Structure 1
Amino acid sequence: MPEYEDWLRQYIEYLQIEKNASPHTIHMYKNDLQEFAAFLEKEVVDGIDEIEMGVIRLYLSQLYDNGLSRRSVSRKLSSLRGFFRFIEREEGVGKSPMMDVRLPKEDQYIPQFFYEEEMEELFKAADPSTPLGQRNLAILELLYGTGIRVSECADLEMERIDFQLSTILVTGKGRKERYVPFGQYAQDALKAYIENGRSELLTKSNEKTTKVFLNNRGKAITPRGIRTILDKLVKEASLTVDIHPHKMRHSFATHLLNEGADLRSVQELLGHEHLSSTQVYTHVSKDRLRDVYLNSHPRAKK
């Protein structure tokens, strides 16, 4: 549908230029809207003005038939809502086909995290006597000590580390920058890696880079490379748990909140725009709940 493709191109430009959306967000929206275009073609919907609420509901039922979770369906419908809102604003057209379509209630999601004992085993698995071991320990300490995303860790530049103030300057989603503090463990691991391991790794490549973390060829590491390192450390620590890119971030937030940090501070440290994104971490372990109860309720113990 040429008309749809033209609107899609304009919308992507709008996201890039006016909204300053991240490449990941733009890629996600584009994929969702191209999938919807394929659906329209299959259902022989020839024009934008033919897209009405019934078409959207049919698309919704097909998404569920394909086995998508409510969370995934909500995301795709959000992409459509933004797209049609853009068309409505630009054209001054009538009622959006998304106007009366309700987003499905999402499944309750509790982030997976490492317990503190598991974190200790991970730290032990990194061998600080080798350049790569020093790098791995620095990555672990920084991810757990700051809660930054794996992509933010891979993008970190040397000049953005301030050892005097113990902070790093991170570029997050939407290219928004934020200062994040780090503790003594991360400081010691970073210094040891930068002064020794990183210098040695740099000699393996003719290319000079200002990125902090390097691969075994002396080049800037990728987010996928960091994920591979984390997978390897989990195996070496003999942990019977799965790991995914955000699990260190989840652990950072969970442990802060379990120790009494306030939600607003954790929101700022994580770089969340909305508090609702941080509230998912307000779950606590059963042990923590029991401790709070025993220490707080007047009739919990004699």
Structure 2
Amino acid sequence: MSLALSAGMRDALERWCAGLVALDGAAENTIAAYRADVAGFLAFWCTHQDGPAGLASLGAVQLADMRAWMARERARGAGARSLARRLSAVRSFARWAAEREGIDVTAILSARSPRHNRSLPRPLSPEAARDMLDTVPLQHRDDWQGLRDAAVLTLLWGCGLRVSEALTLTGADAPLPPALRITGKGGRERQVPVLPAAQAAVAAYLRACPHQQAPAAPLFRAARGGALSRRQVARVMEQARAQLGLPASATPHALRHSFATHLLAAGGDLRAIQELLGHASLQSTQVYTAVDSAQLLRIYNDAHPRA
């Protein structure tokens, strides 16, 4: 955190972050991103003040100051989406500060977020997803590690789990039941049906895994017995997609996108898909209708006879 911040400002930032954990159940990575976003703005503001400034000084922020900060972030390479996220975090912190200090932070709250086009998810086709599951195990000399990676990816594609959710499963979850209770973003719980193929993939991995399973231990183990990391899962998919000639968008999270898109294409109910994905609002799930429509349009354009 910047040394330009006063002790009081640093303490306020940590108390705000602690409140996000306590009230919203925000994930550790989310908190870290918000902390960095707000700390960056506060450091900028303190520089504008020619030295450390207290929390009450936010009442002196003008719209021109907000524009100057946003221009600097743009100059540093922040895209519209990243800048919108940073501004959202700063607004949230400003509201929190206003409630405690009785200050007017209208200028901060009225700063306009940059416009950005929401990119559509880029799922894999069913054929590409199957090829991925067949190719990933070939990246390891030890069969058990290949079975492990195939099991993880089967949970992403077959159950719609986030990779972080799959990697938080423990020995107590094995053997996988017909339905898993998953705690996702914001501490929201959901019941996720487990396909027989996913149960079989995890069972095959566990039979081959050389590390002793314990109820509190991670279900998916790294080579030396520690917890498998998200980066390791991403790396093995990078290797497999290079062999398959798939684009860089073929990531672990793309398999979760594929789960939703393939369900929708098969006639799945949008509200049910929302529940399975653990989205807080239907709006987050509705993006998949655009993906499905875009795929249909491509098929139409490829197949329609032209005069």
TM, length-normalised to structure 1: 0.85
> Shift of residue 268 of structure 1?
1.1
Alignment RMSD (CA, Å): 2.7
For 1:116 and 1:48, locate their aligned partners in 2 and report how far apart those are by CA, in whole Å. 52
- Which of 50, 60, 84 lines up with 1:74 in the alignment? 84
Change (3 A) 1:218 1:94: closer
- Matches of residues 159-238 of structure 1 in structure 2 within 5 Å? 159-161=172-174, 163-164=176-177, 166-194=178-206, 196-198=207-209, 200-202=210-212, 210-236=217-243, 238=244
- Matches of residues 92-171 of structure 1 in structure 2 within 5 Å? 92-127=102-137, 130-161=143-174, 163-164=176-177, 166-171=178-183
Change (3 A) 1:287 1:37: closer
> Shift of residue 112 of structure 1?
1.5
- The equivalent of 1:14 in structure 2 is 19
> Shift of residue 18 of structure 1?
3.0
Change (3 A) 1:162 1:20: same
> Shift of residue 162 of structure 1?
6.3
> Shift of residue 20 of structure 1?
2.7
> Shift of residue 208 of structure 1?
8.6
Over residues 79-131 of structure 1, what are the superposed CA-to-partner deviations in whole Å (9 max), with x where a residue is unaligned? 01100111122233234322322222222311121111111211221449921
For the 8 Å contact 1:213–1:220, the answer to whether it is kept is yes
Tell me which amino acid in the other structure corresponds to 1:105. Answer: R
> Shift of residue 163 of structure 1?
4.2
- The equivalent of 1:87 in structure 2 is 97
For the 8 Å contact 1:163–1:187, the answer to whether it is kept is yes
- The equivalent of 1:241 in structure 2 is 247
Identity within the alignment, %: 31
> Shift of residue 280 of structure 1?
2.0
For 1:56 and 1:183, locate their aligned partners in 2 and report how far apart those are by CA, in whole Å. 50
Tell me which amino acid in the other structure corresponds to 2:23. Answer: E
Change (3 A) 1:12 1:177: same
SS in 1 for 2:110: coil
Over residues 61-85 of structure 1, what are the superposed CA-to-partner deviations in whole Å (9 max), with x where a residue is unaligned? 2222223221111100100110011
Tell me which amino acid in the other structure corresponds to 1:145. Answer: G
For 1:6 and 1:51, locate their aligned partners in 2 and report how far apart those are by CA, in whole Å. 20
For the 8 Å contact 1:131–1:201, the answer to whether it is kept is no
SS in 2 for 1:261: coil
Over residues 108-163 of structure 1, what are the superposed CA-to-partner deviations in whole Å (9 max), with x where a residue is unaligned? 31112111111121122144992122212211211110111111111112323564
For the 8 Å contact 1:160–1:169, the answer to whether it is kept is no
> Shift of residue 245 of structure 1?
3.8
For the 8 Å contact 1:142–1:186, the answer to whether it is kept is yes
How many residues are matched?
287
Tell me which amino acid in the other structure corresponds to 2:168. Answer: D
> Shift of residue 55 of structure 1?
1.0
Gaps (5+ residues) in structure 1? 294-299
Change (3 A) 1:289 1:8: same
TM, length-normalised to structure 2: 0.83
Change (3 A) 1:92 1:163: same
SS in 1 for 2:246: coil
> Shift of residue 289 of structure 1?
4.2
